Amino acid sequence: MQSSGKKLFSVFELYQIMTLAFRSIPLLRRAKAAGKMNKAFLERIMLAVTEVNGCAMCSYYHTRVALEEGFSAEEIRAMLGGSFTDVPQKELSGVLFAQHYADNRGKPSRESWDKIVAEYGETGAYGILAVTRMIMMGNAVGIPSGSFLLRFRGKPDPRSNVFYELLMMLAMVIYIPLAGLTAILLNLFKAPILRF
């Protein structure tokens, strides 16, 4: 997968992304319990967001999971190339919303959100949002980690440098408890889950 041209996440964005992902865990549980989020739909969202962000590590992992889930190699290749022609119609709007969310660095339009709520209901829409935020966190963590590992294989990410990779990996360790605590407090005080 070609990853050049995709913008890297900043240290501050990493904290925001992790906090939003941790806040969304209960939303995903609710959507799964209500039957609104099956494994194939979840993987299509993960592949779509990973394509936008250009995370080689996540592409590798989610390609394997999608193959195990029964996706064809052609469908996976198409999704990682930005084409969603093989996505089932009932999942397409959710996948496109996830792509829009990633394209806009976690700031979707109100119109796109309203459309998802109208199509999937509130529980389903929040499930889509939660999965999208989870893979955004995976990408934000996976890009510098994967870039660091590839550097030692002689294939450095042209977007990155060793200072950025080390800084982001250190920030991840520090941010996990901080973002988790922030998420708990925001959920406890019922802060809005999504802002426009």
Q: What is the pLDDT of residues 54-98, one digit of tens each?
A: 998 999 999 999 999 999 999 999 999 999 999 999 999 999 999
Q: What is the pLDDT of residues 105-162, one digit of tens each?
A: 999 999 999 999 999 999 999 999 999 999 999 999 999 999 999 998 999 889 999 9
Q: What is the DSSP string of the chain?
A: ---TTPPPPPHHHHHHHHHHHHHHHHHHHHHHHTT---HHHHHHHHHHHHHHHT-HHHHHHHHHHHHHTT--HHHHHHHHTT--TTS-HHHHHHHHHHHHHHHTTT---HHHHHHHHHHHHHHHHHHHHHHHHHHHHHHHHHHHHHHHHHHTTT---TT--HHHHHHHHHHHHHHHHHHHHHHHHHHHTT--S---
pLDDT of residue 3: 42
Q: What is the pLDDT of residues 17-40, one digit of tens each?
A: 999 999 999 999 999 999 999 999
Domains of the chain with bracketed CATH: 25-132 (1.20.1290.10)
